[in-house]
Amino acid sequence: MDEQALKGILEALVFVSQEPLSVERLVTVLGRVSKADVVKTMRCLQEDYNQEGRGLQLVELAGGFRFVTRSDVAPWVKRLDKVKSAPKLSRSALESLAIIAYKQPIVRAEIEGIRGVETSSVLRTLLERKLVRMVGRKDVPGRPILYGTTKYFLEHFGLRDLSELPPLREFKELGESEQASLPVEDESLFLTPEPAERV
């Protein structure tokens, strides 16, 4: 398969995918194309989109590649979007999300211990929004559920993996910059007590 044909196929696969596509997944779908060729062609595609000043860019998020709109065309995209936005996340939901992001895997009782309030309904909301997921059970009496963040969480905040999670104060600022796509009820997005351990 020549490079131009491969480029077209990869472009189409990423375009139609509902989630970021990893190099490994692309290699599996393509069959007889090497990982090195896929990586090289994806880099060429990224350069093409950057140099040609298109409205889309090819980015690497949450361990895979996907197309996103460029920030300079976002105002026009928002005008087109007539779909009612999802209900706003409350400050308590965003505080709990920050705790999970920095302390994961973590059980509900530990989240409640940090926040000082009950969090069942908040966790349900975060699960429904696909920002957190159940990752297992803690090996203690009662075997409570452990929670962690999802690939969508990484994608939403523009992170390749959890090692790119910024210090808590920077994460608060990052959250504030995401208000357009993840609306909130309060400007104070995340708690800023002591630094939490990075996972």
What are the domain boundaries of the chain?
3-80, 91-177
Give the CA diameter of the chain: 60
> What is the percent of the chain with per-residue pLDDT over 90, rounded to a whole number?
42
Question: What do you get for the CA distance between the two ends of the chain, in Å?
Answer: 41
Asked whether residue 66 carries a pLDDT value surpassing 50, the answer given is yes
Asked whether residue 148 carries a pLDDT value surpassing 60, the answer given is yes
Q: What is the SS3 assignment for 134?
A: strand
- pLDDT for position 188: 36
- pLDDT for position 25: 93
- Please give the full DSSP string across 84-96, using - where no structure is assigned: PPPPPBPHHHHHH
Looking at per-residue confidence, does 130 or 182 come out higher? Answer: 130
The CATH number of the domain covering residues in 3-80: 1.10.10.10
Looking at per-residue confidence, does 54 or 198 come out higher? Answer: 54
Cis peptide before 105 (omega within 30 of 0): yes
Q: What is the mean pLDDT of residues 41-55?
A: 88
Q: What is the mean pLDDT of residues 117-139?
A: 92
On the question of a common fold for 3-80 and 91-177, the answer reads yes
- pLDDT for position 33: 92
For residue 96, with 0-12 CB atoms within 10 Å meaning exposed, 13-18 middle and 19 or more buried, which class applies? buried
Asked whether residue 37 carries a pLDDT value surpassing 60, the answer given is yes
The CATH number of the domain covering residues in 91-177: 1.10.10.10
- At residue 190, φ and ψ (nearest 5 deg) are -135, 150
Asked whether residue 50 carries a pLDDT value surpassing 80, the answer given is yes
- pTM (2 d.p.): 0.52
- pLDDT for position 82: 52
* Tokens 């860019």, residue located: 57
Helices (H), ranges, the chain = 3-16, 23-30, 35-51, 74-80, 91-103, 108-115, 120-128, 151-156, 168-177
One-letter amino acid for residue 133 of the chain: R
